[in-house]
């Protein structure tokens, strides 16, 4: 084993650990890997590592450009209201029984997601589903996970359905093979859609939890609690009394979680601890309890929050829930850096991330895309925030401006033209997408700055970084070493006529596991080169293995972190981590069985002459 292979394996292990650990973002991990590879390639005279020019050649891969273009096309469809067409369609179905509604919703969402990036589809439809669930008298947690899963089903059916399919197709083409056709994946995607829909319709009501969302807490039903902070004021009557004896906790919907004194949490039952001037009280409040805590004598709500609450008149103030948008410019910043209260005229009462209350000081908490915010503000401020691109207000669907809605036919026509050109192979898909983006910008469906802002640059950085790592693994022989080890292991324990199918299953399982804990694009960028190496070792067509990698990277159901749409409904639906495992793991196994059964029948393991 050469030092180059050891070096590449070390980078691979670093990337995997960093993706799972999440101490730094996935795109920063990929950028670090890319930077190290460029640096070592520039300094080293090794003939096994790719040269600096070869490493920079990943920017010549058409897949990231195509993916960026499709982000813009999807954003144009969203902004012009094209995705909202499914809203009117769903509103007609609220009188249907739960299972009937679920069946039609899944098919409708999947049909749209087959041609549109699934994240905006889920973002647009979340407020609609929350509204319809109230009309139906069904907990929204019974519908939000199926909404996310339906968008994933659609993504497995076409080349444009998800960025992982485009990336795999680009890698396959660069390796000298024909790219994936527009509807080629439908041979396995449609069976997955069919079986997955039947599974959710039959077992969904039983397996899906009954949870309260942040929107439903504003009703009179069981309420979720939110974390806020208060201080015992100087001269307060609370000094020298316990919280229990002082009457502090008699307020509606208030619990004392912790007392922090001189920066250290006081040990023991907080309700029985004697309070002192300056104590910081960590309170769990129902929404109504937040305002009540603010009015209590002897305590002061955290300064920034208190100042904001004072600007909101009781008769016009309202609590509202929102989710940080995927392309929000405020992501990565703290509330203090944003000057949130002044900028939006709203006060952030609580933040939920990945299903948990954030207990850090809100002013120093860095926001992330997908964070769920509980905010208080005037109705005028809420209306203004609803029209921004920073936060999606969840109790009201977004309404496109009339000037954009009239351009909906142009956006839809452009998307259809891209699909048609790619399907008929008249031009490469990257050319069709680039021309389509130009048409959208020239026609005024989107402004250029909005188009650039709609591109998820972090995903492109991950793709470039992992493409560079995959190229290094290929040139150093690391991919071939992994491929030979896997094929050798299978050959020892499996009969010859089953080895190809077992190898297909192994590729699927590894890719699926990577996807649940890493980025799905990273999983494809790492596994497709290995799949190509395995096919070369076996002397067969790599297409079945690449298709299996595509499906495994998209069919991510068992965790809320494996796919972005799962992450979004995770916070909004009030889910717990293992809610996804309970519903999604059987679905993962179903998709595995369908893929391993279908792929050999459709593509076959044809021998390839050397």
Q: According to DSSP H, which parts of 236-386 are helical?
A: 243-246, 287-295, 303-310, 335-338, 340-344, 379-386
Would you say the pTM of this structure is higher than 0.85? no
CA pair distance 23, 88, nearest whole angstrom: 42
**Looking at the 3D structure of the chain, how many domains does it have?**
2
Looking at residue 224, its pLDDT comes to: 43
Residue 377 main-chain phi, psi, to 5 deg: -175, 175
| Least confident piece of the model among 42-56, 205-219, 358-372, 551-565 | 205-219
Looking at residue 228, its pLDDT comes to: 66
Residue 299 main-chain phi, psi, to 5 deg: -130, 155
- Structural domain of residue 258, as residue ranges? 216-301
In the predicted structure, residue 475 carries a pLDDT above the cut 50: yes
Looking at residue 265, its pLDDT comes to: 74
CA pair distance 403, 67, nearest whole angstrom: 27
315 in the same domain as 253: no
Q: Please, are residues 8 and 473 in contact by the beta-carbon 8 Å criterion?
A: yes
Looking at residue 289, its pLDDT comes to: 59
The Cβ of residue 444 has, within 10 Å, a number of other Cβ atoms equal to 12
Looking at residue 291, its pLDDT comes to: 57
In the predicted structure, residue 360 carries a pLDDT above the cut 60: no
In the predicted structure, residue 269 carries a pLDDT above the cut 80: no
> Which residues does 48 contact at the CB level (< 8 Å), separation at least 6?
2, 4, 5, 475, 476, 477
Give the model's confidence band at 358: pLDDT under 50 very low, under 70 low, under 90 confident, else very high.
low
Give domain status of residue 293, yes or no.
yes
**Mean per-residue pLDDT, 218-222:** 37
Looking at residue 320, its pLDDT comes to: 78
293 in the same domain as 328: no
Note the Cα 532 to chain centre separation in Å: 28
Looking at residue 72, its pLDDT comes to: 92
On the 0-12 / 13-18 / 19+ scale of CB atoms within 10 A, 271 is middle
Task: Report CA-CA distances (Å) from 233 to 254, 279, 294.
Answer: 18, 8, 12
223 in the same domain as 296: yes
In the predicted structure, residue 256 carries a pLDDT above the cut 50: yes
Give domain status of residue 56, yes or no.
no
In the predicted structure, residue 437 carries a pLDDT above the cut 70: yes
Looking at residue 354, its pLDDT comes to: 63
286 in the same domain as 235: yes
Task: Report CA-CA distances (Å) from 494 to 354, 501, 597, 600, 604.
Answer: 42, 10, 18, 17, 19
What the block records as the tokens of 405 is 């809605």
In the predicted structure, residue 610 carries a pLDDT above the cut 60: no
Whichever domain contains 347, its CATH number is 3.30.70.1450
Query: In this prediction, what percent of the chain has a pLDDT beyond 70?
Result: 86
Last residue in a domain, options 337, 367, 393: 393
Q: Please, are residues 374 and 391 in contact by the beta-carbon 8 Å criterion?
A: no
Last residue in a domain, options 333, 361, 393: 393
Q: According to DSSP H, which parts of 519-576 are helical?
A: 520-538, 543-554, 564-572
Q: For the chain, how big is the Rg over CA atoms in Å?
A: 26
In the predicted structure, residue 305 carries a pLDDT above the cut 50: no
| Least confident piece of the model among 21-25, 125-129, 270-274, 605-609 | 605-609
Looking at residue 400, its pLDDT comes to: 56
Last residue in a domain, options 367, 393, 419: 393
Q: Please, are residues 243 and 275 in contact by the beta-carbon 8 Å criterion?
A: yes
Helix H or strand E segment including 317:
strand 317-324
Looking at residue 593, its pLDDT comes to: 95
Q: According to DSSP H, which parts of 44-117 are helical?
A: 52-56, 62-79, 85-91, 98-113
Highest mean pLDDT among 148-162, 214-228, 389-403, 568-582: 148-162
Looking at residue 347, its pLDDT comes to: 73
Closest CA to 394 of 363, 370, 359: 370
Looking at residue 607, its pLDDT comes to: 66
| CA distance from start to end of the chain | 26
**Mean per-residue pLDDT, 450-464:** 87
Give the model's confidence band at 217: pLDDT under 50 very low, under 70 low, under 90 confident, else very high.
very low
336 in the same domain as 288: no
Average pLDDT, the chain: 82
Give domain status of residue 22, yes or no.
no
281 in the same domain as 264: yes
Looking at residue 251, its pLDDT comes to: 54
Looking at residue 220, its pLDDT comes to: 38
Give domain status of residue 203, yes or no.
no
323 in the same domain as 263: no
What the block records as the tokens of 598 is 């279908």
Q: Please, are residues 533 and 526 in contact by the beta-carbon 8 Å criterion?
A: no
Give domain status of residue 600, yes or no.
no
Q: Please, are residues 474 and 529 in contact by the beta-carbon 8 Å criterion?
A: yes
* DSSP per position, 377-418: EEHHHHHHHHTSSSEEETTS-----HHHHTTHHHHHHHHHHH
| Least confident piece of the model among 24-33, 51-60, 413-422, 559-568 | 559-568
Give domain status of residue 488, yes or no.
no
In the predicted structure, residue 22 carries a pLDDT above the cut 60: yes
284 in the same domain as 313: no
Q: What is the pLDDT of residues 128-165, one digit of tens each?
A: 888 888 888 888 889 999 999 999 999 999 998 888 99
Q: Please, are residues 412 and 406 in contact by the beta-carbon 8 Å criterion?
A: no
Give domain status of residue 318, yes or no.
yes
**Mean per-residue pLDDT, 526-554:** 91
Residue 47 main-chain phi, psi, to 5 deg: -90, -10
Give the model's confidence band at 196: pLDDT under 50 very low, under 70 low, under 90 confident, else very high.
very high
224 in the same domain as 280: yes
In the predicted structure, residue 34 carries a pLDDT above the cut 80: yes
Placement of tokens 């029984």 in the chain: 97
327 in the same domain as 285: no
315 in the same domain as 270: no
Give domain status of residue 457, yes or no.
no
Looking at residue 311, its pLDDT comes to: 43
Determine the Cα angle at 271 with ends 266 and 275, to 5°: 60
């Amino acid at each position: 084993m050469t030092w180059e292979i050891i070096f590449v394996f070390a980078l691979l292990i670093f990337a995997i650990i960093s993706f799972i650990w999440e101490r730094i973002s996935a795109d920063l991990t990929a950028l670090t890997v890319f930077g190290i590879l460029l640096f070592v390639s520039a300094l080293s005279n090794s003939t096994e590592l790719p040269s600096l020019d070869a490493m920079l050649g990943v920017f010549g891969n058409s897949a990231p450009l195509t993916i960026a273009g499709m982000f813009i096309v999807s954003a144009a469809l969203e902004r012009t209201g094209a995705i909202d067409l499914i809203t009117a369609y769903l509103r007609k179905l609220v009188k249907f029984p739960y299972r009937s509604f679920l069946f039609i919703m899944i098919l409708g969402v999947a049909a749209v997601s087959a041609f549109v990036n699934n994240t905006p589809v889920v973002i647009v439809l979340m407020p609609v589903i929350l509204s319809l669930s109230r009309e139906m008298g069904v907990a929204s947690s019974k519908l939000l996970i199926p909404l996310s899963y339906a968008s994933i089903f659609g993504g497995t059916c076409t080349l444009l359905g998800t960025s992982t399919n485009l990336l795999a197709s680009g890698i396959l083409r660069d390796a000298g093979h024909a790219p994936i056709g527009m509807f080629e994946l439908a041979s396995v995607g449609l069976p997955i859609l069919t079986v997955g829909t039947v599974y959710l319709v039959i077992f969904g009501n039983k397996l899906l939890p009954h949870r309260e969302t942040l929107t439903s807490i504003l009703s009179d039903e069981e309420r979720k609690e939110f974390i806020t902070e208060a201080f015992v004021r100087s001269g307060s009557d609370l000094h020298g009394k316990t919280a229990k004896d002082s009457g502090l906790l008699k307020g509606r919907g208030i619990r004392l979680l912790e007392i922090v004194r001189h920066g250290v949490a006081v040990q023991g039952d907080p309700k029985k601890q004697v309070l002192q001037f300056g104590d910081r009280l960590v309170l769990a409040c129902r929404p109504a309890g937040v305002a009540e805590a603010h009015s209590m004598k002897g305590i002061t709500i955290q300064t920034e929050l208190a100042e904001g609450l004072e600007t909101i008149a009781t008769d016009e103030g309202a609590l509202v829930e929102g989710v940080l948008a995927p392309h929000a410019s405020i992501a990565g910043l703290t509330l203090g850096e944003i000057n949130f209260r002044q900028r939006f005229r709203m006060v952030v009462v609580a933040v939920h991330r990945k299903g948990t209350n954030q207990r850090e000081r809100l002013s120093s908490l860095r926001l992330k895309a997908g964070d769920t915010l509980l905010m208080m503000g005037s109705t005028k401020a809420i209306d203004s925030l609803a029209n921004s691109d920073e936060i999606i207000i969840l109790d009201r669907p977004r309404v496109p401006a009339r000037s954009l809605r009239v351009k909906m036919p142009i956006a839809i026509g452009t998307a259809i033209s891209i699909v048609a050109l790619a399907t008929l192979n008249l031009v490469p898909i990257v050319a069709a997408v680039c021309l389509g983006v130009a048409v959208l910008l020239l026609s005024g469906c989107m402004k250029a700055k909005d188009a650039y802002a709609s591109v998820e640059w972090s995903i492109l950085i991950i793709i470039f970084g992992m493409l560079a790592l995959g190229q290094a693994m290929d040139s150093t022989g690391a991919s071939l070493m992994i491929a030979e080890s896997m094929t050798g292991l299978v050959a020892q324990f499996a009969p010859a006529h089953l080895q190809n199918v077992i190898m297909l299953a192994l590729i699927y399982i590894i890719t699926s596991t990577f996807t649940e804990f890493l980025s799905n694009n990273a999983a494809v960028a790492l596994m497709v080169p290995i799949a190509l190496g395995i096919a070369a070792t076996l002397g067969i067509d790599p297409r079945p293995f690449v298709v299996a990698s595509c499906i495994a990277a998209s069919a991510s159901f068992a965790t809320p972190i494996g796919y972005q749409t799962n992450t979004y409904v995770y916070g909004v639906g009030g889910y717990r981590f293992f809610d996804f495992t309970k519903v999604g793991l059987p679905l993962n196994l179903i998709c595995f069985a369908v893929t391993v059964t279908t792929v050999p029948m459709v593509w076959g393991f044809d021998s390839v002459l050397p």
